[in-house]
Amino acid sequence: MTTVVAQGTFDILHPGHLQYLEEAAAMGDELHVIIARRENVSHKRTPVLADRQRRDMVGALDPVDSAVLGDREDIFVPIERIDPDVIVLGHDQHHDEHAIEGALDERGIDCSVERAAGRTPSYDDELLSTGRIVDRICEQRC
């Protein structure tokens, strides 16, 4: 059995998230998703939605076998627990594949690191970014 891990913030789910998780699930038999905790998100705006809500929403998606919150101190703790064969990064995630591979080697975790393909919008006004969804809400509702 091939175990796959995907990870991300998953704030305000959109078709790009689903594409990423479907692609990750297709790389193995079981997909585990690690949801970043709000306090650990420093590379972009803090998530709008609470940690547990984001975890529950991702866990409810068909491609996902389990969804867990990330560790507060060490992003590799849930990866060590899950012991995946493959880690799949989103197409636009800020992570450096080589740095992750190096950290995995240092910890004795034997798995490959792949990068998912991006999704092309299916129609003119399809939004594939939480930031763009928030911007649209503010434009139309604020």
Average pLDDT, stretch 85-102? 90
Query: Rg for the chain (alpha carbons), in Å?
Result: 15
- 122 confidence band (pLDDT: 50, 70, 90): confident
The answer on whether 16 is annotated among ligand-binding residues is: yes
Contact 89, 113 (CB under 8 A): yes
The answer on whether 92 is annotated among ligand-binding residues is: yes
Contact 113, 100 (CB under 8 A): yes
CA angle 41, 52, 89 (to 5 degrees): 50
pLDDT at 96 over 90: no
The answer on whether 9 is annotated among ligand-binding residues is: yes
pLDDT of residue 26: 97
Q: Is the pTM of this model over 0.85?
A: yes
The answer on whether 76 is annotated among ligand-binding residues is: no
Say which CATH superfamily domain 3-141 falls into: HUPs (3.40.50.620)
Q: What would the pLDDT profile of 102-120 be if each residue is shown by its tens digit?
A: 999 999 999 999 999 988 8
The answer on whether 125 is annotated among ligand-binding residues is: no
Q: What is the residue-averaged pLDDT of the chain? A: 93
pLDDT of residue 93: 84
Contact 64, 25 (CB under 8 A): yes
pLDDT at 42 over 90: no
pLDDT of residue 125: 87
